[in-house]
Structure 1
Amino acid sequence: MCYDWGESSAAAVRVLAGQSGFLSCPLFSHPNVYNYSSTQSTGHNLFWYRVLEGHGLEQPFTNSARFSKDRERLWLQPAYANDTGQYICMLRNKTSCSKIAMRLTVLHPEDATLPNSCAPFAVAASLEMVPLQLGKTLDCPDAQEAAKMADAIPNVTWVHQIRSSKSCEVFPAPSIERQVKGMSLQVHIMTEFYQGLYFCTVHYRRRGRALNFTRVINVTAINPPILPKEPDILQPTKDYIFNVKQGEEARLVCSGKFPYLDSPWEIWWTIDGKTVEQLRDPRFSKSNRQLKNYFEDRIEESVLVIQDFQPEDLKREFNCSVRNQLGIKTQRTQLNLETSLPSLELGCGLGATLFLMLLLFIIYHVFWLELLLLYRSWFGTDERHTDDKEFDVYISYARNSEEEQFVLSTLRSVLENELGYSVCIFDRDSLPGGTITDETLSFVARSRRLLVVVSPGYASRGSQALLELKAGIDSMALGGHLRVILVQYRPVKRKVWVRELRRARVALALVQWQGDKSKELTSRFWKRLRVELPLRRNSAGTEGGGKDAALMRMSSQNSTSSQTGLISQTSKSPQTVYNYAA
């Protein structure tokens, strides 16, 4: 009778077709149970059998050119696709027998090539950890075993596939930091760039036949061993407080740092000295996850979830602990019970506040002129009580132009008759026989506002309009008792503006006339203009014309009635051009 251990899934082997491979008898995977040397001394012999795909009979092996036994291994040199099947190793003597099976799979190269891989491989990659800025020698797996059977020393070729890249580098590469020495690859100085897969192909000859096999090493950089390796708790800190609410879910988060060690590590919560598993309370549960991996230094997170938190839970002791081979650290958490706010009332109040703010924003955006005029009528100051100016507005415009008709028939009429302002127009209000320059400067100085009607021909060099403009800008810049307002009757390109206008534009208010849309007194043009003009109140306390304004207009008309004939004659004669030295 022979004891049958069945088939070992852990001992399954994969080999590339056309390459060498071997099977190791799983009976010797536990040396305390079976040791090859001791079994040989007790008279046990190792026999190999196989059951090929599609066959039900066990076939024994004998040494041949392709199959050879080496202690507990059976070599296939090379392996072919029809070698796929179940292989059985049997250890027996005259009184005892044990056997175990394993599976061999021979792969075609196209079935063993991963996406973006430099070469096909069947055997899983081995892992090598190399400290940064330090060195290590990479030995191709199973190369020494092949050397024992080879006719001469094998030759090993190395290929490096950079991590997260398709590029592959074949050695010997022009680098002093990595060099091939014999069958090994020596890394003198490890950097992050040198991480990735290293393919090593062993080429050797046995009995005159050229053979080869490929192995893969996954090289990963780790932090140098000179850095501290004890675990640490990143959160919660000593002074950190978790805010919890009664009757709701509480989540206590603990994160720990574990420097790389080739040993187990652990992060866990305890409640009154018991783990969640030991407590066996359905209200408590935990979940772990990895937050970060930086050169194999791990940051792990453990979340303790408490369902339906109660005030008596504040009396419990919640501790987070981390541990590895070099030490253990524990941090106690602090809890603070928050008072629940009425969420519905709070939400409704916040929503109403946001709606009111939005409504006020829309109202201000649409009716800001009306609101500004209303504010002025309530809280504004009448400038007549604070200065000794004679005129509210001095109108400057280009003579003998379309704008002159607009000024005399529309602008002057509304300002005097509808809004109650005292208006000064040089051609109407100046006395005959005076000096043009002196009277212009006098009128501008005695006015609270200088209203400039901008046109393409306005303020041409040497004109009276330029004198008025310069006088107004100088008075505004020096004393601040006069403000200049620009009224754009027709669109004018800024490049045709005179230098004085271009320089002062940033500090001047510009009101645009928009034809028929601006004729009504309630239009945006007149509202915008009233904002820039001095405040006038009527008897009802609102802004507008009144009795005082009417008396002022009558006085102004009486003072200039004697000049009517002269003005009529002047309006019919060509415009006189006066030179003004700035």
Structure 2
Amino acid sequence: MSEIEPTVSWYYVNPDKSECSQYPFWNKDREQRGTSLQFYIMLIPYQGLYFCTVRYQRRGRMLHFTRSIKVSGIYPERVSKVPTILYPTEHKIFSVRTNSDERLTCRGLLPLILHNSSRKIWWTVDGNTVAELKNRRFSQKNSIVKEDFGDLTMESVLVIEDFQSEDLKREFNCSVWNEQGFLTRRAQLKEDVSLPTVELGCGLGVTLVLMLLLFVVYHVFWLELLLLYRSWFGTDERHTDDKEFDVYISYARNSEEEQFVLSTLRSVLENVLGYSVCIFDRDSLPGGTITDETLSFVARSRRLLVIVSPNYACQGSQALLELKAGIDSMALGGHLKVILVQYKPVQRQSLVRELRRARVALALVRWQGDKSKELTSRFWKRLRVELPLRRISRDEERCNKEAALMRLSSQNSTNSQTGLISNTSKNPQKVFDCAA
């Protein structure tokens, strides 16, 4: 029994400032009346920890004791207290895979009811709870996700180990309950047909490697592939037109290019590849008009082979006439194709106008000296792509190649040139006799 009137003091611990305040507080929303602390208006900042200290005197000694209470705000009773299911929604479909562990998540909002705080969330399988099911493959884990003024957002996860196709026929329901109501929702399942990731990755990797390999092969061997394609599916132009010559060669006379044309280019085209070649100085008849015969030869040829060099196409030369005739024939009828063979590099500004335009639009095959002498070089492959298709037997091709190689190896630089020119002038034979 206290010998004097006991005194009561209230304290509030501010969680934001970590300090303790003694009554009277800084506003009139909270008031101490006697030994009690009354709240007239509950606000969010008023939540926290409160202490009350009682002091009294007994047998001449001052005694005191302290008690604490945690104050939290809740939503008023006029707010709906019926529980709701937040997830899954009504149209939610769970994708599941067989032979794997699956997790079905249910999330519900369960409001606080003052006179009864009991709230539940759970899963049922075919109408039975997980505890009643007694199947180790099924387990349930509940947790509180959020607390908002007493209202709880709770989550229940149903774990299904080694999901089987038969489980798709089961009925999985999520339920929430409190004193104000009950709600349940069925989970809709759909089997997810998974792609074989390992096989798909390996297949994709093999495909990429093959594509890269094909790209490299095409980049390196595109000429060989193009020639192979022409040999299988190409058409011999001799069956589709009435031309007399396959190739008409236009070059600068009395120059180094003339030796290249007569000793190398003509020999391989006629004796190895089997083309009919027209060379004006060799095939023209004496006493004819140069202009008329030149135009006639160009018109009767399928290809015009222009040997581009610094000495070519001077104004007023016969080579320029041949070039103009070929370009006009190609532009008008399309039955003649002009091919440029660069024997030596030429600066563009030193060329005549017709040749400058031709270099922009026409194919250009470059002669690279010793590197191009072999019949398997890139020069001859590139030239064969531009020339008409010729179908000859393997024996004839082998024989022609051997004869051409023997002829090329036995030629001299200057003396053989003179002899070759005189021989070709007297003997216009174009096919080399292998038996000879």
Smaller-chain TM-score bracket: 0.5 to 0.7
1:107-506 → structure 2 map (5 Å cutoff): 238=91, 243-250=95-102, 307-317=161-171, 333-338=188-193, 352-506=206-360
CA-to-aligned-CA distance 1:299-344 (integer Å, 9 cap, x gap): xx9998754222233134567999xxxxx99795440253775x66
Query: What letter corresponds to residue 193 of structure 2 in structure 1?
Result: E
The 1-side partners of 2:122 and 2:293 are apart by: 93
Q: Give the counterpart of 1:25 among 18, 22, 31.
A: 22
CA-to-aligned-CA distance 1:93-131 (integer Å, 9 cap, x gap): 679955479xxxxxxxxxxxxxxxxxxxxxxxxxxxxxx
Indicate conservation of the 8 Å contact 2:14/2:21, yes or no.
no
**Cα distance change, pair 562–415 in 1 and its aligned pair in 2 (3 A):** closer
CA-to-aligned-CA distance 1:401-452 (integer Å, 9 cap, x gap): 3323222222122212222211112222222333322222111111111111
Indicate conservation of the 8 Å contact 2:249/2:306, yes or no.
yes
Higher relative contact order (CA 8 A, sep 6+): 2
| Residues 1:540 and 2:394 are matched in the alignment | yes
The 1-side partners of 2:140 and 2:319 are apart by: 87
Indicate conservation of the 8 Å contact 1:8/1:100, yes or no.
no
Which residue matches 2:180? Answer: none
Q: Give the counterpart of 1:528 among 360, 373, 382.
A: 382
Query: What letter corresponds to residue 414 of structure 1 in structure 2?
Result: V
* Superposition deviation, residue 348 in structure 1: 5.7
Aligned positions, number: 342
The 1-side partners of 2:165 and 2:7 are apart by: 63
The 2-side partners of 1:459 and 1:278 are apart by: 102
CA-to-aligned-CA distance 1:241-299 (integer Å, 9 cap, x gap): 655331124477999xxxxxxxxxxxx9966599999999766679999xxxxxxxxxx
Which residue matches 1:38? Answer: 33
Q: Which has the higher helix share?
A: 2
Which residue matches 1:197? Answer: none
Query: What letter corresponds to residue 231 of structure 2 in structure 1?
Result: S
Which residue matches 1:203? Answer: none
The 1-side partners of 2:122 and 2:160 are apart by: 12
TM-score, structure 2 as length reference = 0.59
The 1-side partners of 2:350 and 2:130 are apart by: 83
Percentage identity across aligned positions? 64
Long gaps (5+) in structure 1: 15-21, 45-87, 102-230, 256-267, 290-300, 323-327, 551-556, 564-582
The 1-side partners of 2:273 and 2:237 are apart by: 15
Query: What letter corresponds to residue 21 of structure 2 in structure 1?
Result: S
The 2-side partners of 1:318 and 1:444 are apart by: 88
CA-to-aligned-CA distance 1:470-521 (integer Å, 9 cap, x gap): 2212222222211111111222344544433443445422111111111111
The 2-side partners of 1:305 and 1:347 are apart by: 30
The 2-side partners of 1:531 and 1:396 are apart by: 19
- Deviates most, 410-419 or 330-339: 330-339
* Superposition deviation, residue 360 in structure 1: 3.7
The 2-side partners of 1:317 and 1:100 are apart by: 52
Long gaps (5+) in structure 2: 38-50, 69-83, 108-120, 146-154, 177-182, 405-421, 429-436
Indicate conservation of the 8 Å contact 1:234/1:254, yes or no.
yes
**Cα distance change, pair 363–37 in 1 and its aligned pair in 2 (3 A):** closer
**Cα distance change, pair 312–436 in 1 and its aligned pair in 2 (3 A):** same
The 2-side partners of 1:329 and 1:9 are apart by: 42
**Cα distance change, pair 395–271 in 1 and its aligned pair in 2 (3 A):** farther
The 1-side partners of 2:157 and 2:379 are apart by: 66
